[in-house]
Amino acid sequence: MDKRLFAAVCLLLTCSAFAQPRLPENYHWKKLNNGLEVVVIENHKVPLATIEIAVKNGAYTEGPEYSGLSHLFEHMFFKANKDYPDQEKFIKRTEELGMIWNGTTGDERVNYFFTFDKDSLAAGLKFMNAAIRFPIYRTEDMQKERPVVDGEFQRGESDPGFQLWIAVNKKVWGEHFTRKNAIGDHDVINTATPEKMMIIKDKYYYPNNSILVICGDVNHEEAFTQAEDIFGNWTQSDFNPHEKYPIPEFVPIEKTEYLIKESSIAQTPYTMFTWHGPDTRNDSLGTLAADVFSTVLGLNSSKWQQALVDKGLASYAGISYQTLKHTGPVSIFAVPNPGKLKEFSAEVMNQVSHFADDDYFTDEQLQTAKDILRRNHIRNTEKPSSLASSLTYWWCSASLDYYTDYIPGMMNVTRKDIQSYLKKYIISKPYIAGMIINEAMNKQLKPAEYFTALKSF
């Protein structure tokens, strides 16, 4: 079997319930009897340890009635629990342990992490155990935290790019938009109750839907022993959360649509084009090709940058792909030159129509893009505290095998692989396009006369 085929096969495989996944050197894996996966990453560069728990939860588990509650739940994690029954005691304990701590909520993952001196590993694991397993949702804490979470939403709305993202993605995902919007919904956030927090916990917060990563200046055998002693009696669910509460498939975009949104805060127009892209369940090779191609287009030497930025049609024009288990989006985001808005719109159409041409990028550009991705990966591994979050992202949205095989697989992506990806997901496929612009510019530039009348790629 040649190297390229081997890499593709590896990426398409997922590990079975108790199979040993492939992992890099100094990564050690164990699954406890309750289903909790534990990964220990030995990295002795600095005398610190990071622990992280990630749960397969997030926007994709939320219908409209729960939109944003996974994010609120993440905030409440740092409030009160059985061992530290109010936030003051919680914060005091983090100070005693010298912790740096935080959490994040995304489309397919909610994660919590602490970094501290390596000698505090057992204490840190006990602290995490109390927070993840025995939270206390006090009404007074929720009354304080709801405005904080909603405030994040409001800050986002002060950004025209965020406003455009919301408008476009409501069209891209249709009735399942809430499952791609981790920030949530104002009304749902502001009316959340402790009872709704328990619904989230009772659906998803189980060891068999979670992973614990211990990273840093630790011994893996000792770390496994401590993890089992502390988390081994965490009761697993008698169901698979994602079978009992299945994630609906996202309905493909049926037809190309354009929208123009007026906003007083849009000092210059922004544009966005979004397609449904590949996902790790069905097209792992496509996800790699998407990453490589997006990096190619980010090169200053690319035809895309030369046609749009170098010629003054836009101050920024980028394409991105988000790797996910459930339909990753491919998006173009650009800041066009207002005085050349019509020319910019036409040139975007022209460029995308040539994406799959044999000469759209050179062999040198392809290799440069791969080298950039590989260097970025190496830099990320140089910071032990970030290794855990990187691994848990891929565990939630792909697999540990995908994480390990990413660089070898990406390095073997060919021009043909990229062309296949583009023809399958982008070229001549329906998409949603949007523009945000202020009222004065809208009247002056009249983008509706050409932007919304553009032909499909």
Tens digit of pLDDT for each residue in 87-145? 999 999 999 999 999 999 999 999 999 999 999 999 999 999 999 999 999 999 999 99
Q: Identify whether residues 158 and 265 lie together within a single domain.
A: no
Which residues, at least 6 apart from 323, have a Cβ–Cβ distance to it below 8 Å?
280, 287, 290, 291, 397, 398
Q: Tell whether 68 is covered by a domain.
A: yes
Query: Quick one: tokens of 103?
Result: 């959490």
Query: Quick one: tokens of 5?
Result: 């085929």
pLDDT of 14 above 90: no
Q: Tell whether 7 is covered by a domain.
A: no
pLDDT of 9 above 80: no
Q: Give the residue among 299, 307, 424 at the shortest CA–CA distance from 364.
A: 299
User: How far is residue 324 from each of residues 210, 290, 356, measured CA to CA in Å?
Assistant: 17, 12, 23
Q: Tell whether 3 is covered by a domain.
A: no
Q: Identify whether residues 208 and 281 lie together within a single domain.
A: no
pLDDT of 325 above 50: yes
Which bin fits 455, alpha (ψ -120 to 50), beta or left (φ > 0)? beta
Other CB atoms within 10 A of residue 409 CB: 24
Find the mean pLDDT for residues 12-40: 83
Per-residue pLDDT at 251: 97
Q: Identify whether residues 273 and 194 lie together within a single domain.
A: no
Bridge partners of 212? 38, 53
User: How far is residue 417 from each of residues 327, 431, 439, measured CA to CA in Å?
Assistant: 19, 21, 43
Per-residue pLDDT at 183: 95
Per-residue pLDDT at 7: 47
Which residues, at least 6 apart from 361, have a Cβ–Cβ distance to it below 8 Å?
296, 302, 303, 415
CB of 82 within 8 A of CB of 136? yes
Q: Identify whether residues 148 and 210 lie together within a single domain.
A: yes
**What is the band of 382 on the pLDDT scale with cuts at 50, 70, 90?**
confident
Q: Identify whether residues 215 and 271 lie together within a single domain.
A: no
Q: Identify whether residues 234 and 359 lie together within a single domain.
A: no
Q: Tell whether 93 is covered by a domain.
A: yes
CB of 79 within 8 A of CB of 145? yes
Find the mean pLDDT for residues 68-76: 95
SS3 of 392-424: the string is: HHHHHHCCHHHHHHHHHHHHCCCHHHHHHHHHH
Q: Identify whether residues 273 and 380 lie together within a single domain.
A: yes
Query: Quick one: tokens of 405?
Result: 């095989």
210, 244, 278 — which closes off a domain?
Answer: 244
Is the dihedral angle over the CA atoms 357, 363, 367, 368 positive or is it negative? negative
Per-residue pLDDT at 454: 65
Tens digit of pLDDT for each residue in 328-362? 999 999 999 999 999 999 999 999 999 999 999 99
**What is the band of 380 on the pLDDT scale with cuts at 50, 70, 90?**
confident
Residue 133, CB-side half-sphere exposure with 13 Å CA sphere: 18
Q: How far apart are the first and last CA of the chain?
A: 37
Q: Identify whether residues 308 and 389 lie together within a single domain.
A: yes
Find the mean pLDDT for residues 50-63: 98
Number of domains forming the structure of the chain: 2
Please state, for a pLDDT cut of 90, what percent of the chain lies above it: 92
Q: Tell whether 29 is covered by a domain.
A: yes
Give the integer Cα–Cα distance in Å for 308 and 350: 11
Per-residue pLDDT at 457: 58
**What is the band of 15 on the pLDDT scale with cuts at 50, 70, 90?**
very low
Please state, for a pLDDT cut of 70, what percent of the chain lies above it: 95
Residue 189, CB-side half-sphere exposure with 13 Å CA sphere: 25
Q: Tell whether 156 is covered by a domain.
A: yes
**What is the band of 81 on the pLDDT scale with cuts at 50, 70, 90?**
very high
Q: Identify whether residues 438 and 305 lie together within a single domain.
A: yes
Tens digit of pLDDT for each residue in 154-173? 999 999 999 999 999 999 99
Q: For the chain, percent helix, then strand, then coil, each to nearest 5?
A: 50, 15, 35
DSSP string, 106-158: -SS-EEEEEEEEGGGHHHHHHHHHHHHHSB---HHHHHHHHHHHHHHHHHHHT
**What is the band of 17 on the pLDDT scale with cuts at 50, 70, 90?**
very low
Q: Tell whether 31 is covered by a domain.
A: yes
Q: Identify whether residues 306 and 394 lie together within a single domain.
A: yes
Tens digit of pLDDT for each residue in 237-266? 999 999 999 999 999 999 999 999 999 999
Tens digit of pLDDT for each residue in 419-447? 999 999 999 999 999 999 999 999 999 99
Find the mean pLDDT for residues 39-47: 94
CB of 249 within 8 A of CB of 83? no
SS3 322: coil
Find the mean pLDDT for residues 192-201: 95
**Residue 51 belongs to a domain with what CATH number?**
3.30.830.10
Tens digit of pLDDT for each residue in 268-289? 999 999 999 999 999 999 999 9
Give the distance, in angstroms, between the CA of residue 112 and the centroid of all CA atoms in the same chain: 15
Cα dihedral 183, 186, 192, 197, rounded to 10, equals -10
**What is the band of 6 on the pLDDT scale with cuts at 50, 70, 90?**
very low
Query: Quick one: tokens of 134?
Result: 């025995």
Containing domain of residue 155, as a range?
25-244
What does pLDDT average to over the chain? Answer: 94
> What angle (nearest 5°) sits at the alpha carbon of residue 35, between those of residues 29 and 41?
20
Q: Identify whether residues 267 and 225 lie together within a single domain.
A: no
Question: Which run of H or E residues covers position 189?
Answer: helix 186-190
**Position 251: which residue type?**
V
Per-residue pLDDT at 456: 56
SS3 33: coil
Other CB atoms within 10 A of residue 67 CB: 22
Q: Identify whether residues 270 and 387 lie together within a single domain.
A: yes
**What is the band of 18 on the pLDDT scale with cuts at 50, 70, 90?**
low
Q: Tell whether 368 is covered by a domain.
A: yes
Q: Give the residue among 298, 397, 436, 404 at the shortest CA–CA distance from 25.
A: 404
Q: Where are the alpha helices (DSSP H) in 326-456?
A: 341-353, 363-381, 384-397, 400-411, 415-425, 439-445
196, 221, 244 — which closes off a domain?
Answer: 244
244, 271, 298 — which closes off a domain?
Answer: 244
